[in-house]
Amino acid sequence: MKNGKGRVLAVLLFSLSLLGFAGPVQSAPKTLVFSAIPDQDQAQLVQRFSKVADYLTNALGVPVKYVPVNSYAAAITAFRNDQVQLAWFGGLSGVRARLLVPGSEAIAQGVEDTEFVSYFIAHSSSGLKPADQLPAELADKTFTFGSKGSTSGRLMPEFYLREAFGKAPEALFSSVGFSGNHSRTIALVQTGAYQVGATNYKVWEEELAAGKIDTSKVSVIWKTPSYPDYQWTIRGDVDVVWGEGFKARVKQALLDMKDPELLNAFPRSGFIEAGNGDYQPILDTAKKIGLID
């Protein structure tokens, strides 16, 4: 009987422990989720950014996960809805995201992002040659931008086209397309599907180095003046979720990223500090051409 009572007591204590009465149970830390605008082939981005997630997990001591999105707009929506708390945005997408999420901040940018440029590229059949200014012969050609929400593939190229010709692209060209990303823009112009296009200079250089560009078919004919572009943007409420000083720790982890293999995911030579004010020129330009009210 005595042994029976002991067994009953042991079972009761075990049951109470499962219910939480035997002391506090430590909950697992919440996963920090980040994304990036899909400016290149998605499969390639997943492979690269998954390694960045591993780096951040080790640096921050909390689980970090990369989730792909299928459009620039989807990246902004995920950030607004707190489905992602950290994002690698372009200049325009970052401005739009921060307008929708008060308290969010640009915390780091690539070394190259302080003076980014776009390339105008043309198919050999167009007859267009490299020039110091946009050639008048662009008129009536077929033209493709990248994504509608791209800084380097749409915003800045459209701004300079309007400035040079005093016309909207639809009035200047015989047809206007939106490829969706920079890799596709290069491919469409290289095949001759479009005579001219605007693309991110970093993607052009990366694909040229990888042997994906046939310069007998497509070449750079003009580059824009420089402007600020990509940046890491973080939600303002991360310290509430992960503890005081977490935002500063994320920023430092990004600034400390030195592994060339990780930096190649962007691709950048390194990261430096950034702030919301650095992107005022992008906001001003977007307002000038009517992309932001």
- Residue 222's SS3 state is strand
136-183 pLDDT, tens digit per residue, is: 999 999 999 999 999 999 999 999 999 999 999 999 999 999 999 999
**Within 10 A of 201 (CB to CB), how many other CB atoms are there?**
18
Q: In this structure, which amino acid lies at residue 186?
A: I
pLDDT at position 265 is 87
Tell me if 53 sits within 8 A of 34, measured CB to CB: yes
Rounded to the nearest integer, the mean pLDDT of the chain is: 91
Q: What is the pLDDT of residue 96?
A: 97
Poorest-pLDDT segment among 25-39, 70-84, 161-175, 257-271: 25-39
Tell me the three state secondary structure of residue 143: strand
Find, among 225, 155, 223, 212, the residue nearest to 183 by Cα. 212
Q: Return the residue matching tokens 């029976």.
A: 4
Three-point CA angle 240, 241, 247, nearest 5°? 70
162 or 22, which is more confident? 162
Per-residue pLDDT band at 5 (split at 50, 70, 90): low
Q: Which domains does the chain have, with CATH numbers?
A: 32-114+228-288 (3.40.190.10), 117-223 (3.40.190.10)
For residue 30, report the phi and psi dihedrals to the nearest 5 degrees: -65, 145
Decide the pairing of beta strands 175-178 and 142-145: parallel
Q: What is the dihedral of CA 184, 185, 188, 191, to 10 degrees?
A: -100
> What pTM value is reported for the model?
0.85
Region of 224 on the Ramachandran plot (φ > 0 left; ψ -120 to 50 alpha; else beta): beta
pLDDT recorded at residue 29: 78
Question: Do residues 75 and 81 make contact, with C-beta atoms less than 8 angstroms apart?
Answer: no
